[in-house]
Structure 1
């Protein structure tokens, strides 16, 4: 998405709480963060799992250093000894996940960006979660930040849940089911709503 005006009009009109968040946060700056291949996006996602941004960036940088022009490629990854992956700081589980991802890419089993564009969100989630170490949340982030899909709501994302809790002034963290039901009114712009719920945690909200 590049023109957020229709999304902001819809979200502001459909949810007063979200309208307050939008006013407090300001312009939507949701944009794609990755220009490489699907393989490279998922490889980076696997490396970054359960790590702080700084630690993950360091390990990802070490991994990239093992490749010509620092471009991580599936066939070359499969040629690397496991000791090289360990030396880069990758755990055994992440090394195995990267190996499975690379094998699928080399075998032509991993859809590329063009193929993904012809698939529904649900089809993409089902297809990519077949890869070892790739879960629903990882694919939802791909849908938002790699493909720019407009209507994705990661209902198990802690930041989104906390943002909704703050927006609604709830005592307890809401359930994923409650968030999913509440998000029905945000369709077909739930990705933009998601971005604002993340940003909600960084601002002070007006009482009214």
Structure 2
């Protein structure tokens, strides 16, 4: 887990190493970290966030909480598909959250044990669940487990921000974004937060694109 002091030190190091990231920090200040809680409910929210806006996912998550109360594997598995769809989940995402519930309830996925594992092993275990891909696993590592060197190269907002901040000729594809991120090791999580900070304070406000 990246401690607050380590986070501040990483911001300072990245600003010294990269003038473009330093310019984002100068323009908008340091991004505030609001860690997500670890556990089942956060993974459900991340599934809901796949390929939709954060606001849309949050609204669906709120309706799901209204339906089941505390979001636990047992309460999700007690719902029918029609119940889940009444909360706004697509048929596919209802299947995904149910698959996650099955894995956790059956003990195939021990969420409490993840923090003791390295990043690659965590990603491997999470992506064994239907509906959890690399992006979902990496964002869980970054926002909930607070790992220091995670780079979600499939993230659209990250690509848009990198295009603008680094003044690239075109929006980078996944392979290009992976290569770009290498320069910011071992603090790619912090670099990602800086780029997202730019996106939230410029691109999204202008309505150019949405994640």
TM-score clears 0.5: yes
1:156 to 154, 157, 161: 154
- Equivalent pair of 2:30/2:194 in contact (CA under 8 Å): no
Within a 5 Å distance, the mapping from 1:46-85 to structure 2 comes to: 46-67=47-68, 70-85=69-84
Deviation per residue, 1:137-172 (Å, 9 max, x gap): 111110111011111111221111111111122231
Could you say which structure has the greater relative contact order, defined with CA pairs below 8 angstroms and 6 or more residues apart?
1
Within a 5 Å distance, the mapping from 1:194-205 to structure 2 comes to: 194-201=192-199, 202-203=201-202
Give the deviation of 1:135 after TM superposition.
0.9
- Give the structure 2 partner of residue 108 of structure 1: 107
- Equivalent pair of 1:46/1:98 in contact (CA under 8 Å): yes
Give the deviation of 1:100 after TM superposition.
0.9
CA-atom RMSD in angstroms: 1.9
Structure 1's consecutive aligned runs of 4 or more residues displaced over 6 angstroms after TM superposition are none
Deviation per residue, 1:67-119 (Å, 9 max, x gap): 2xx20111122222222112222221111111111111111112223x11111
The SS at the match of 2:61 is helix
Give the deviation of 1:203 after TM superposition.
4.5
- Give the structure 1 partner of residue 39 of structure 2: 38
Deviation per residue, 1:19-65 (Å, 9 max, x gap): 22222221231230x22x52111112222323333332332222212
2:20 to 3, 17, 25: 17
- Equivalent pair of 2:48/2:61 in contact (CA under 8 Å): yes
* Greater radius of gyration (CA): 1
2:32 to 29, 32, 38: 29
Whole-Å Cα distance in 1 between the matches of residues 121 and 22 of structure 2?
32
* More moved, 132-141 vs 39-48: 39-48
- Equivalent pair of 1:47/1:59 in contact (CA under 8 Å): yes
Q: Against the structure 1 CA distance between its residues 7 and 106, is the aligned structure 2 distance closer, same or farther, given a 3 Å change threshold?
A: same
The SS at the match of 2:67 is coil
Whole-Å Cα distance in 1 between the matches of residues 146 and 189 of structure 2?
9
Q: Against the structure 1 CA distance between its residues 26 and 73, is the aligned structure 2 distance closer, same or farther, given a 3 Å change threshold?
A: same
Whole-Å Cα distance in 2 between the matches of residues 48 and 21 of structure 1?
26
The SS at the match of 1:130 is coil
The SS at the match of 1:66 is helix
- Give the structure 2 partner of residue 188 of structure 1: 186
Give the deviation of 1:7 after TM superposition.
0.3
